[in-house]
Structure 1
């Protein structure tokens, strides 16, 4: 049997060789837990209201166990072992977000006396458009449009980054550095966005301006809101990561996509961005903040393409 000390040394050795985004994948959930213990009230975590998030967490740990088992038994080819070792940070980062929901970090924000920034977001939108942009476009609502926006919001957000990484793995196998680069961009974008959720708490127009909307999204409004809100941390609006993550993926992968894939991913990314406003989850300020975050992260990662070596 392997001793705990030997296991600890192995972990320490692996940790030293991990890239920063892999280290952040483990540090961020630990930081969330510490933040909740120091400032929140985890006794109010309400598991009965977080069944979806708890299920997602359970599935995540099951996948970890299955991955470790597959790697330990050497049942995969070297190439697919590499994929498992390099892809895991992306789904693993979801655990940090689920912890924000499960540990109810909004209680910590309230305890620290950090005020919601919705009035500032409304003022920004009003200065640009005369009123908050979700209010301005509410007359675009139709059953078909609502169905399209719901599917874009719920599905494309995951398909674009994960699908792009898998596409790079299968069709750009000669450039493993590209895979690492895109993964890093996604992880850095998520971590920065989640930190800003804590520093700039915003609840969103759907709740803050609920009485101001005169047009209902339609019969499926309740369904999508229940599905999305079962995973959402309460103050997760600025910046819009539903905007930032697809855009940073598109910007980083653009040079490797063939033209048909460029058009497809661009269409999906634009539809996700519009859905955040149409479904009343975000202000224009949140969306512009997400695009700006994506551009900054992409510009910081792109110059390193040539020199990047995978670990």
Structure 2
């Protein structure tokens, strides 16, 4: 009992973004238990998500063990202590898939909001925004878009965090981590309240041009990790943009064109691959701008606690 009390006391001293990495999956688990959705859980159909969750958990436990042994140099101990919330937040997302939280929405008969997104796109762009990209479809374009969507999304924020660590810009590291976690958590919550499948899944009849051959094994693996209604807002838009907006002044002039290219490529890929409506992408941009403004403002107005490595 004393150990539990000590652990809770320690967690209360964590910054908000760290606390969210535990609070979010706890709430998802509690909701599935209280709603009875857990009774519809079929682990055999969620092997990939369960495996991913187990690997993330193993990573976190390994990092904890390494910190307890105190065999690493202080600088690397700091990295383990401050970096783990990022994969932990992704573990929180996997709980939505593992416990099939979309079943709760289905049981409550909450309507999907794809028609809202289509109506917005039609009013603003004349039609669903991904339809305007059909003339660009080619095997080479599809390969570029797939690569951007699958790889740049993770490489940009994680690469930026590691780059800040390498440059010993610890306060900026924390600021970017906060921005990424707040953006992820906000998006995950909105997924529940504004469920959207995306144009490719909800309205495939809209499209007359095939995207061409895909790596079906890769996409089957990716889709096996996805929560079913994870389109509004587009976090594939929000995460790279919040990274860029938070770190733009920190990047070297030579790095900025590369970062901008990666960010624009990811944003375009969400539409080209028909995962998102224009409304989703605009919402992702607004979310990124809001989070970056708040995080940058709070860190400039509030005296920073020392982040120096002992």
1:208 corresponds to which of 184, 187, 202: 202
2:282 corresponds to which of 285, 288, 302: 288
| 2:106 match | 110
- CA deviation profile, 1:243-289 (whole Å, cap 9, x unmatched): 10111011001111101221111111110101111111100000000
Mapped pair 1:190 → 2:184:
yes
Q: Distance in 1 between matches of 2:220 and 2:114?
A: 22
- CA deviation profile, 1:194-253 (whole Å, cap 9, x unmatched): 100001000100111112211111111644532321111000000000110111011001
Structure 1, unmatched stretches of 5+, are none
| 1:29 match | 25
Q: Distance in 1 between matches of 2:110 and 2:215?
A: 30
> What's the TM-score, normalizing by structure 2?
0.94
* Structure 1: 4+ residue segments shifted above 4 A: none
Aligned runs of 1:153-302 on 2, under 5 Å? 153-171=149-167, 173=168, 175-220=169-214, 222-302=216-296
Q: Distance in 2 between matches of 1:50 and 1:152?
A: 26
| 2:118 match | 122
> What's the TM-score, normalizing by structure 1?
0.94
Secondary structure in 2 aligned to 1:50? helix
* CA-CA distance at 1:96 after TM superposition: 1.2
| 1:84 match | 80
Secondary structure in 2 aligned to 1:273? helix
Q: Distance in 2 between matches of 1:151 and 1:113?
A: 36
Q: Distance in 1 between matches of 2:57 and 2:159?
A: 22
* CA-CA distance at 1:41 after TM superposition: 1.8
Q: Distance in 2 between matches of 1:203 and 1:189?
A: 20
Secondary structure in 2 aligned to 1:260? coil
Contact 1:176 1:310 (8 Å CA) reproduced: no
Aligned alpha-carbon RMSD (Å): 1.4
Q: Distance in 1 between matches of 2:121 and 2:35?
A: 32
Contact 1:243 1:290 (8 Å CA) reproduced: yes
Q: Distance in 2 between matches of 1:261 and 1:284?
A: 28
Contact 1:39 1:112 (8 Å CA) reproduced: no
Per mean C-alpha deviation after superposition, the further-off stretch among 235-244 and 126-135 is 126-135
Contact 2:153 2:236 (8 Å CA) reproduced: yes
Mapped pair 1:95 → 2:118:
no
Q: Distance in 2 between matches of 1:139 and 1:297?
A: 34
Mapped pair 1:51 → 2:73:
no
| Residues matched between the structures, number | 305
